[in-house]
Structure 1
Amino acid sequence: MDPTVRTHTTRRLPTALVLVTALFAAGCAGRADGGPEPAATESSATPHGYVEGAREAAEEQSRLLLGDPGTGASRVLDLVTGKVHETAAVPGAAGLSTDGRFGFFHTDRGTHVVDGGSWMVDHGDHVHYYRAAIRDVGDLPAGRGAEVRSDATVTAVTDRDGRTTLYDRTALEQGKVGPARTLGDGHAGAVVPYGEHLVALTGDDDSAKLTVYDREGAPVASPGATCERPRGDAVTRRGVVLGCADGALLVRAEDGGFTAERIPYGRDVPEEERATAFRHRAGSDTLTAPAGERAVWVLDVTDRAWTRVRTGPVVAANTAGEGAPLLVLETDGALHGYDIATGRHTARTKPLLAAAGKAAAGPGAGAPVVEVDRSRAYVNDRAGTRVYEIDYNDDLRVARSFDLDIAPGLMAETGR
């Protein structure tokens, strides 16, 4: 089915207006380049959006968290300055995820947390962008296979057995792992903080029941929805998307309560062609997921519609959102662009990666990814020890490449 495609601007938002109200405090002293952050000027009123120890900027302060699965070395690449910052080695790291600020390196022994020092706060009608010190925070006991999801106040960690532990995210902002609270077990997939609550699927992998907890862990809502064979989740402006065998379940906070709406595929989809891991630009309502070996699913959450785009052999995919091209890294090592509405192939880079198919052994194997922000896309080249920056609004032009001293098999973007 063909969704209605809406255009959107890719311009960065201007600096937020100064109002007299405080947002929150986070103690991240220092500057990314090692120098001190300028002290806040004393005044009779705290500027709107002020964050202690951080510096506000007019544009996204994007940084890439990078890890070498072979040596355990990790780095943070500042995409504004082009500088590379060394962070603590994480031996055995086989996975990397992020909540937009913190990087979570997953090993068999636990999850190491790195503060990427860049993030955004979305107030709906305007956005604040911040930069602060890059630093190692500490370790969470959850090991490989753990799912980590956060909002501004809580970080939920769900292990492979469905046990979920809650951490105070403001403690992470202060550079430490704070006390933990146990939410319980029996969760199928990640527990997702959303709307000052926690969205979870309880039960087994065959059929799980949607449950909403308050922040103390008490069940407060059960919209009566179930999800068969749940895999994958994403938070959008429209709500939380949960991947199910028949499509997706959209969970929304409305009028003090919660609703659940099914978004079916509209066709019979074999198990191997299901969408099981979503990727999208932060803040976007357009999700992508591989649809078997030679196609990509695009879910338009606004229109509640799925589109299956036929492509070449898929390694990784992403999109900036409505009106932007679908970006697909294929086994020829090149990044390809497709028009989502028509499925037409629109652009192709030169081969960026050698033997991309072999590098795509799956999550945890250092497979390449495509990260997308408001104006650029990024592709990590493990074998070539570099990262490519792609201008997807200019026929996939390679805007920059960054040579590194590690093999960046793991990559995630912060500051969005």
Structure 2
Amino acid sequence: MALALLATSCAGQDGDASARKASAPASGTPHGYVEGAQEAAEQQSRLLLNDPGTGDTRVLDLITGKTHEVPRTTGASGLTTDGRFGYLHAAGGTRVIDGGAWMVDHGDHVHYYRAAIRDVGRIPGGTGAGVRSDAAVTAVTAEDGRAAVYRRAALENGEVGVSRSLSGVHASAVVPYAEHLLSLTGGPGGSTKVVVHDREGKRVASPDAGCEDPRGDAVTRRGVVFGCADGALLISEDDGTFAAEEIPYGADVPARERALSFSHRAGSDTLTAPAGDRAVWVLDVTERAWTRVETGPVLAANTAGEGAPLLVVEDDGALHGYDIATGKRVSGTERLLTVVPEARADGTPGPVVEVDRSRAYLNDPAGSRVHEIDYNDNLRVARTLDLGMKPALMVETGR
């Protein structure tokens, strides 16, 4: 596979939605060998940071504490990641940055890798584009619903490569999943239908399910979740057969309070999304259940799942922890944001909470720093990392 050439003991194991599958190497290649990279014993976490105003773009290595400058990207409206690559969305296209850290998950064991950080180049589809990846392909869906698919191997070699257009107009981001491509195609009155394509773009299935006014998506170990007007739609795969299951809110939810985008720890089946201005939705994909947690005014939210607290940045500039089952606040920090941003609907980036297996990261653009939080120790501030730039946009790679 594109990400790695692993030893025979790793080859042939079945992965899941978030797994990175690999093939066996040539005879004599050491176990875990990846060309041009070093295997590590622990997760190689890095933060990709951008200041849209100045274009200053850096990668912060959370193991060494060192920062690496990469080409500037001004006017970025958003920053997303697939665990290795960062995608800076701007009017002139999407710049691809190889964060140089990733993982290969085989379910019962994980391989961690680190390599050089580099600028891969630009791909079409800028502001508003949706970029989703698996181990073999990266799908880019433009604002107009047109989608193109890139081979992952080219990106890993430092090149954008040649794309292949996917037919049709798509109502949400095209999501690579289970060696196929999932999309929602438009229908009457804002409704959509699920369509499954193979990686060559051929339509191979269409589960009998729809999603009205789709907003937001996430890949979990249970399948792909699409946010819909009345809740969520879960698409799963078993032995080549795709099935769709609705997860309704269970009550009428005003449009302004529905889940529009999801945040979660990579590999987790617990998703979070703001529920209007003063609450957070938590979707337990395993239990197929929504929980609404009443909070203060919400600026950002996330959770590690699996019994971890719900982390919420509120308008007091502090990070608060809530017990998801009871809805009670159980922990909190002092004010961490130098300046608390006003709630704005013009696309201005707000704070971000990135979560991995042991730490959470909160960016403070006005303070030119990032806070590292131990969410298993009453939200203790483990480190404050001064940057010398305003990290308005932030994602974590190496996951």
**Does TM, scored on the shorter chain, surpass 0.5?**
yes
Report the counterpart of residue 272 of structure 1 in structure 2: 256
* One-letter amino acid of the counterpart of residue 233, structure 1: D
Does the Cα contact within 8 Å between 2:341 and 2:350 map onto a contact in 1?
no
1:140-196 Cα offsets, whole Å, 9 max, x none, are 011100000000110000001100011111100000110010002310010000000
Please, which of 314, 334, 350 is the counterpart of residue 298 of structure 2?
A: 314
Please, which of 356, 375, 386 is the counterpart of residue 369 of structure 2?
A: 386
Does the Cα contact within 8 Å between 1:334 and 1:351 map onto a contact in 2?
yes
Please, which of 20, 33, 58 is the counterpart of residue 8 of structure 2?
A: 20
**Further displaced range: 119-128 or 327-336:** 119-128
Report the counterpart of residue 379 of structure 2 in structure 1: 396
2:124 matches 1:141 = yes
Alpha-carbon spacing, 1:179–1:22, altered in 2? closer, same or farther (3 Å): farther
Alpha-carbon spacing, 1:19–1:175, altered in 2? closer, same or farther (3 Å): closer
* One-letter amino acid of the counterpart of residue 247, structure 2: I
* One-letter amino acid of the counterpart of residue 211, structure 2: C
1:59-96 Cα offsets, whole Å, 9 max, x none, are 11000000001101100000000001001001211210
Please, which of 317, 321, 324 is the counterpart of residue 340 of structure 1?
A: 324
Does the Cα contact within 8 Å between 1:117 and 1:133 map onto a contact in 2?
yes
1:78-117 Cα offsets, whole Å, 9 max, x none, are 0000001001001211210000000000101100000000
* One-letter amino acid of the counterpart of residue 77, structure 2: A
1:22-49 Cα offsets, whole Å, 9 max, x none, are 769xxxxxxxxxxxxxxxxx99532343
Please, which of 203, 206, 213 is the counterpart of residue 190 of structure 2?
A: 206
Aligned alpha-carbon RMSD (Å):
1.7
2:190 matches 1:228 = no
SS in 2 for 1:356: coil
Alpha-carbon spacing, 1:373–1:78, altered in 2? closer, same or farther (3 Å): same
Report the counterpart of residue 3 of structure 2 in structure 1: none
* One-letter amino acid of the counterpart of residue 192, structure 1: V
1:203-255 Cα offsets, whole Å, 9 max, x none, are 15710110000001011011111000100000000000010011110000112
Report the counterpart of residue 93 of structure 2 in structure 1: 110
Report the counterpart of residue 356 of structure 2 in structure 1: 373
Give the CA deviation at 1:356.
2.1
Does the Cα contact within 8 Å between 1:315 and 1:356 map onto a contact in 2?
no
2:274 matches 1:286 = no
Distance in 2 (CA, whole Å) between partners of 1:141 and 1:261 is 33
Q: TM-score when scaled to structure 1?
A: 0.89
2:399 matches 1:411 = no
Report the counterpart of residue 350 of structure 1 in structure 2: 334
Identical residues among aligned pairs (%): 69
2:223 matches 1:239 = yes
Does the Cα contact within 8 Å between 1:331 and 1:355 map onto a contact in 2?
no
Query: Where does 1:38-117 land on structure 2 (aligned, <5 Å)?
Result: 44-117=27-100
Unaligned runs of 5+ in 2: 1-5, 13-24
SS in 1 for 2:140: strand
Distance in 1 (CA, whole Å) between partners of 2:262 and 2:345 is 14
Unaligned runs of 5+ in 1: 1-17, 25-41
Distance in 1 (CA, whole Å) between partners of 2:11 and 2:57 is 32
Does the Cα contact within 8 Å between 1:20 and 1:47 map onto a contact in 2?
no
Does the Cα contact within 8 Å between 1:209 and 1:226 map onto a contact in 2?
yes
Report the counterpart of residue 140 of structure 2 in structure 1: 157
Does the Cα contact within 8 Å between 2:184 and 2:195 map onto a contact in 1?
yes
2:176 matches 1:193 = yes
2:158 matches 1:175 = yes
1:239-298 Cα offsets, whole Å, 9 max, x none, are 000100111100001121100001111111110110110000000000000011110000
Aligned length: 381
Distance in 1 (CA, whole Å) between partners of 2:172 and 2:156 is 26
SS in 2 for 1:228: coil
Does the Cα contact within 8 Å between 1:95 and 1:363 map onto a contact in 2?
no
Give the CA deviation at 1:357.
3.6
Give the CA deviation at 1:409.
0.2
Does the Cα contact within 8 Å between 1:23 and 1:49 map onto a contact in 2?
no
Distance in 2 (CA, whole Å) between partners of 1:396 and 1:22 is 37
Alpha-carbon spacing, 1:410–1:60, altered in 2? closer, same or farther (3 Å): same
Distance in 2 (CA, whole Å) between partners of 1:43 and 1:215 is 26
Query: Where does 1:297-308 land on structure 2 (aligned, <5 Å)?
Result: 297-308=281-292
* One-letter amino acid of the counterpart of residue 202, structure 1: T
Report the counterpart of residue 38 of structure 1 in structure 2: none
